[in-house]
Amino acid sequence: MKHICTSITLLFSVLAISSFATQSAVEDKMLAPEATATEAKLSFRDIPELKEAFIDAAPTDRKDELIVGELGIDGGNKDMITKLALEIADKKHGNFDSLLIAHKGKLLFESYYLRGRINLPHPQASATKVYLSMAIGRAIQLGYLTMADLDKPVVSFLKSLDPAKFVEGTEKITLHQAMTMRSGLRISRDKIRELRENPAPLKGQGQVQAYLEHSAPITLESQSFLYQFTDPTMVMQVLDAVVPGTAKDFIKNELLDKMGITTYGWPTAVSGLPSAGGTSITSRAMVKFGTLVMNKGKWNGEQLIPEAFIVKATSKIAQSRTDENFADIPDVSGTAYGYFFWQADMSTRGKSYLSQAARGGGGQYIIVIEELDLVVVVTAHDRDNNTSSLTATRILPAFIQNSITTMNEISNSQDKSPIIEGPYIGQKPPGLTPEVFAPGIVSTEHHEWGPFFTPDMKEFYFSRRNNKSGKDSHLVFKFENNRWHESEAEHGVSGEISPDGKTMFYTNQYRERTDDGWSELKSLGSAFEDIDIMRLTSSFKGTYVFDDGYKDGKAKIRYSRLINGEREAPKPLSKEINTGTPNVHPFIAPDESYILWDSKRDDGYGGLDMYVSFRQEDGTWGAAINFGDKINTSTSQGGGYVTPDGKYLFFNGPASTGKGDVFWVDAQIIETLRPK
């Protein structure tokens, strides 16, 4: 076994470690600590603390289906992680029991402290909810549920309930809402105490029956995020109802056994079903769950969980406004919630990385950073842990390409993060020749599209598709404290914004700007429900202009005006615009003086070309005018958009690498096409 500390001299010269005793423990400890048979029978709080920490930068292959490697050789900065591990061993960061790191599919670092043992399941607390989420995903993969079922009422799955006793609004609780802690259940503490003191009626589905009888009425207003035990309990009941046999056997046979997880504890709740909180699994098993998420639901080449479910479960669905753990951590922001997964933006060296995590009380974490192909696992018994901040400031930098190799260099560089200042994400404006926008910042080696600024020019939204994973992310740069900060867009999606900045459109739905950000998605109305909208823009008058997708390859541009406060039914625009096919991605000028869109026509250059039509004096639309070879090429260009200040035209176009970038050009190019 190769360990991180091969000589005392190396530790002193590179890391300047002051504790000889701690360093010797790292060097001499050759075998990972294992719990004895006697210790395995003890309650976790009675496990004796390790006398010496175990720290290993070349984990042993234990034939447990985890691929192992060596820190520094297979990725990561060994010195940086070693320094952190030794600080943890000296209890400088709280009561850690383990820290494990996997990078690019290999376990590269493994360490145990205090009550941590390699073979001892560690209490997981609320991290259990993520394992429940994965079990729901497994049920979908096997056909016992569908993705569409996530939007069905919880009560529709539970046939033993008595709806006559339900409080009003129980049909509003969907599986989707229960998995995002938005059931709307509101049960008084006195009633909860009473139910716990008389548990007999809570057997089986009686547990859910009690919740639905004794809650305050369920309303749209009450269905806001509230972290509570009732919601995952209902989800466990649904799992038990839909799978063959019991939820307990299903979780064991179809999830844990499939992943080679055999050493664990999963207590039984008062209902007789597996508890929705309080499991115990080993730290290495936690790495497996993180790897499962990183691999989009695949384990050893088998698709255990649908990729679509993983993407949904780990996306920002519900905004958390009660997460006090991150309130004073400047490196961690944008906290949100998916299907029992937490999300947060971790900032380091001027860049933000989206993290997706299982989190349990006392300091249990499985943190996945997809952009870095990184999984960080921590177990602890410390209510005041700072794992999220340590991950952002100490672990992420060790796995960023071209990371600084010594702690002195890191210290010297902490105030040298790239600062992006000035309008337009700090970019020098172009002339009448298009240029790639913000290369390396917005336009990268991945595919980017859909750019737009808010009317105050202080927020810039766009979307990116990772060429490696195929996963889409929706990002925003916000201008705060005289600099631009990048993060995941609220709710994980973004769309076109209205000229007044109060509405964001996304397909046939919209969000409204609130004091706290953006509202939940709302429907545009029944007239739009059956239209496959890809892009919708609006004018100051409230006119909607939108496409109807690529349906049958004959997409059209439609419009809907606001007349005397009433929304008219959608209508197709004139043949001047709807000639050729498809006609997509429209943009209407705020004053309705012109419309931009993409189309493939006989007078084009080969792919989708950008066109403009100007409003005539009689109110009709003029002929479609091709933007010409300054913008259009033999491949496709489109998604034209003019900044709220009217100065620049943005659009999507191909890059030399063959994928799409965001381009911009002086908006005067539009006026050069206006008929004289």
| pLDDT digits 0-9 by tens, 475-489 | 999 988 888 988 888
Going from the C-alpha of 365 to that of each of 107, 123, 125, 294, the distances in angstroms are: 16, 11, 10, 15
Burial class (CB in 10 A: 0-12, 13-18, 19+), 168: exposed
> Does the pLDDT value for residue 26 go beyond 50?
no
Q: Say yes or no: 474 and 588 in one domain.
A: yes
> Does the pLDDT value for residue 406 go beyond 50?
no
Question: What token pair was written down for 22?
Answer: 């701690």
Q: Say yes or no: 523 and 609 in one domain.
A: yes
pLDDT at 530: 85
**This prediction's pTM:** 0.60
Q: Return the axis-axis angle of helices 189-197 and 206-214, rounded to nearest 10°.
A: 150
> Does the pLDDT value for residue 109 go beyond 60?
yes
Q: Say yes or no: 304 and 397 in one domain.
A: yes
Q: Say yes or no: 472 and 340 in one domain.
A: no
Quick one: CA torsion of 228, 232, 237, 242, rounded to 10 degrees?
Answer: 150
> Does the pLDDT value for residue 518 go beyond 90?
no
pLDDT band at 551 (very low <50, low <70, confident <90, very high): low
Report cis status (omega within 30 of 0) of the bond before 582: yes
pLDDT at 553: 63
Going from the C-alpha of 436 to that of each of 319, 391, 433, 490, the distances in angstroms are: 33, 33, 10, 26
E-strand stretches of 290-363? 298-299, 302-303, 318-319, 332-337, 342-348, 351-360
Residue 133 lies in a domain: no
Report, as an integer, the average pLDDT of 528-538.
90
Q: At which of 394, 413, 432 does a domain end?
A: 413
Name the residue type at position 547.
Answer: D
Q: Say yes or no: 507 and 630 in one domain.
A: yes
Q: Provide the residue count of the chain.
A: 676
Q: At which of 413, 431, 465 does a domain end?
A: 413
Q: Say yes or no: 549 and 607 in one domain.
A: yes
Q: What is the CATH number of the domain that holds 530?
A: 2.120.10.30
Name the residue type at position 654.
Answer: P
Q: What is the CATH number of the domain that holds 105?
A: 3.40.710
Angle at 455 between CA 454 and CA 459, to 5 degrees: 30
Q: Say yes or no: 292 and 406 in one domain.
A: yes
Q: Say yes or no: 490 and 549 in one domain.
A: yes
More confident site: 66 or 24: 66
Which of the residue ranges 69-73, 377-381, 598-602 would you say has the lowest mean pLDDT?
A: 598-602
Whether residue 269 contacts residue 97, with contact meaning beta carbons closer than 8 Å, is answered with no
Q: Say yes or no: 436 and 394 in one domain.
A: no
pLDDT at 405: 35
pLDDT band at 403 (very low <50, low <70, confident <90, very high): very low
pLDDT band at 30 (very low <50, low <70, confident <90, very high): low
Residue 517 lies in a domain: yes
pLDDT at 24: 40
Burial class (CB in 10 A: 0-12, 13-18, 19+), 329: middle
- The pairing of strands 660-666 and 472-480 is unpaired
Whether residue 320 contacts residue 336, with contact meaning beta carbons closer than 8 Å, is answered with yes
pLDDT at 377: 98
More confident site: 444 or 264: 264
pLDDT digits (tens, 9 = 90+) for 487-506: 888 765 667 899 988 999 98
Look at the chain and report how many structural domains it folds into. 2
Q: At which of 413, 436, 453 does a domain end?
A: 413
Whether residue 158 contacts residue 238, with contact meaning beta carbons closer than 8 Å, is answered with yes
* CA–CA gap between residue 77 and residue 396 (Å, rounded): 10
Residue 464 lies in a domain: yes
pLDDT at 440: 83
pLDDT at 494: 64
pLDDT digits (tens, 9 = 90+) for 326-374: 444 567 888 899 999 999 989 887 788 999 999 999 999 999 999 999 9
Residue 170 lies in a domain: no
pLDDT digits (tens, 9 = 90+) for 350-361: 788 999 999 999
More confident site: 235 or 516: 235
Q: Say yes or no: 462 and 539 in one domain.
A: yes
Give me the DSSP letters along 44-75. GGGSPPPSS-EEESS----SSS--B--TTTSS
pLDDT at 63: 94
Percent of the chain with pLDDT over 90: 66
Q: Say yes or no: 467 and 408 in one domain.
A: no
Q: Say yes or no: 346 and 299 in one domain.
A: yes
Residue 508 lies in a domain: yes
Question: What token pair was written down for 578?
Answer: 């709807």
N-terminal to C-terminal alpha carbon distance within the chain: 79
> Does the pLDDT value for residue 414 go beyond 90?
no
pLDDT band at 672 (very low <50, low <70, confident <90, very high): very high
User: Phi/psi at 31 (nearest 5 deg)?
Assistant: -120, 140
Report, as an integer, the average pLDDT of 531-550.
90
> Does the pLDDT value for residue 409 go beyond 70?
no
> Does the pLDDT value for residue 415 go beyond 90?
no
pLDDT at 323: 44
- Look up the domain containing 23 and give its range: 8-126+283-413
Residue 260 lies in a domain: no
Average pLDDT, the chain: 87
pLDDT band at 107 (very low <50, low <70, confident <90, very high): very high
The structure tokens 């961690």 sit at 332
pLDDT digits (tens, 9 = 90+) for 312-323: 999 988 876 544
Residue 163 lies in a domain: no
pLDDT at 21: 36
* CA–CA gap between residue 555 and residue 600 (Å, rounded): 11
* CA–CA gap between residue 647 and residue 414 (Å, rounded): 36
Residue 241 lies in a domain: no
pLDDT at 2: 34
Question: What token pair was written down for 491?
Answer: 């709710």
